[in-house]
Amino acid sequence: MTGSIALSLEDMLADPDAALRRAREAGAVVDTELGTLVVRYEAVRSVLQDPRLRPSFTKFLERMGISSGPFYTWMSRSPLDMEGEAHREWRKLVLRTFTPRSVERLRPFLRDESHRLIDAFPPNAALDFVEGFARKLPSLGLCELIGVPVEDRARFGVWADTIGLGFNLVMAPQRIAEIDDALVQLMEYSKALVEQRRANPRDDLVSRLARGAEEDGIDPDHIYGTVAGLVFAGHETTKNQLGWLVTTLSEASAEWDRVAREPERAKDVVEEVLRFRSTVTSIGRLAIEDVELFGTKLPKGSTLIASLWSANRDGAAFRKPDAFDTDANRDGAQIAFGQGAHHCLGAALARAELQEALVALAKRFACPKLEPGASFLPPVGINGPTVLPVRFEAR
C-alpha cells in the first residue's frame, strides 16, 4: 500500500471524475479499498507493460467473495488472466483469423445493419437507445464475423448482457448465480458451434480457429472458451461504448452535425469519446515479485488497478482533459483499449462499429436529446448505461 491518500469506493461511486482528479494531484498511485490504484497517464502505460506485473482478475473476484463456480473458473483460464508464452500462442492463433482486413470487409454489413435498426425507431418518440440499438449492433457484427447462424443471434445478446455484470465490481457479487448460468449456456453453445465447424468448415472465424487449434495442438476446451470470450467481449464493451457515444455527443451538437457533413470526421470523434468516457474503467494487475513503482514499494502478491478513466483525463497527456474537444485532444493517445501485450484484440472491430453507427445516426438525425430516466452501471469495472431514453428528430 502507498500510504499517500485513501480513496474509498464511496468516493468513486459518488463522483469518479472528482475523486480521480484528487488522486492524480496526490501522486501516481493511491490507496483504495481494492488495492493500489495507478492514476497518472504515463504511470498507467508503464504498469500495463511491466513484465513484473501480470493480469489478476481472479484476485479481484476473490476479494469480492467469488472463488469458485463457472465464471471464476472461466476467468482463471481466459486470456484476460494469461501471461507469457501461453498468452502469446493464444494471441497468435486468434490474430491469424481476427484480422484488420476481415473487419474492413464487415463495414458494409455494419452500415446496413445500423440503418436497419434505425428504421425501427419509433417516429417522433423517445426510445431506449440501449435496447433499440446499442445491445443489438455489436452482437450482429461479431456474430457475422464469427459465423453464428442468423437464427441463433438473439440469444447471444442476453447471455453477454448477463455475463458482463461479472466485470463490474459492485454488481458481480449480487448477480453471480445469474452470471454463472448465462456463461454455462454460452459455453455449451460455443462448444456445439466449434464442433459443427470442425466437421463442416466454412469461411468464418470459428472454422479458422478450429483448424488452427488442430494444427497447433491446442486443447479444444480452450477454443470453446475463446469463442465464448469473443462473443461476450465484443458485445458487452461496444454496447456500453455506443451508449456513452450518444450520451457524450448529446451535449456536443456542433460535433454531431459536423459528422453528418463530413463522415470522415467520425474516426477522430470516436477516439475522443473513447478518451472522454471509456466503457472499461480500469485494468487489474498482480505483482509476481517485489517491485518499486514511482517511489512506492509493493511486495509480491500486491494487487494494482490501472485506472484508464484517470489516465485519459490526465492534463499531462491531453490539452483539455476534462472537456470533450476532438481537436484540442487529438495529439494525445487515448488508452481505452489498454496497452502492451494485452491491448484489446477487438479494437479494430469496436472502432468500426462505433464509426459506422455514428455516421448513420448523424446523417439521419439531428443531435439526440436525452430524456429523463437514464440509469448507469456503477463506475467500477465495465461501465455504461443500462437504460438510455433518447429522442431522435429526423433531419
31-90 tens-digit pLDDT: 887 678 999 999 999 999 999 998 878 887 888 889 999 999 988 887 767 677 777 777
- What band does 6 get if pLDDT is binned at 50, 70 and 90? low
Domain 6-391 has CATH 3.40.190.10: no
Q: Contact, 313 vs 20, CB < 8 A?
A: yes
Q: Which residue has the cell 470516436?
A: 270
DSSP 8-state class, residue 243: H
Between 347-364 and 137-146, two packed helices, what is the crossing angle to 10 degrees? 130
C-alpha dihedral (383, 357, 80, 66), degrees to nearest 10 = 30
Q: Indicate if the pLDDT at residue 120 is higher than 80.
A: yes
Q: Indicate if the pLDDT at residue 385 is higher than 60.
A: yes
Count other Cβ atoms within 10 Å, centred on residue 261.
Answer: 9
pLDDT at 363: 97
Strand, coil or helix: what is 36?
A: strand
Count other Cβ atoms within 10 Å, centred on residue 100.
Answer: 12
In terms of pLDDT, which residue wins out, 302 or 229?
302
User: Structure pTM?
Assistant: 0.89
pLDDT at 97: 64
pLDDT at 5: 61
Instruction: Give whichever of 86-95, 239-248, 344-353 has the largest mean pLDDT.
Output: 239-248
Which residues, including other chains, have CB under 8 Å from residue 16's CB and lie 6 or more apart? 281, 309, 379
Q: Report how far apart, in Å, the C-alpha atoms of 244 and of each of 156, 261, 274, 320, 338 are.
A: 21, 22, 9, 19, 18
Q: Contact, 377 vs 387, CB < 8 A?
A: no
**Antiparallel, parallel or unpaired: β 35-38 and 303-307:** parallel
Q: Contact, 352 vs 104, CB < 8 A?
A: yes
Which grid coordinates belong to 186?
454460452
Which grid coordinates belong to 169?
465490481
Between 137-146 and 100-119, two packed helices, what is the crossing angle to 10 degrees? 140
Q: Report how far apart, in Å, the C-alpha atoms of 318 and of each of 38, 329, 332 are.
A: 18, 5, 5
Strand, coil or helix: what is 333?
A: coil
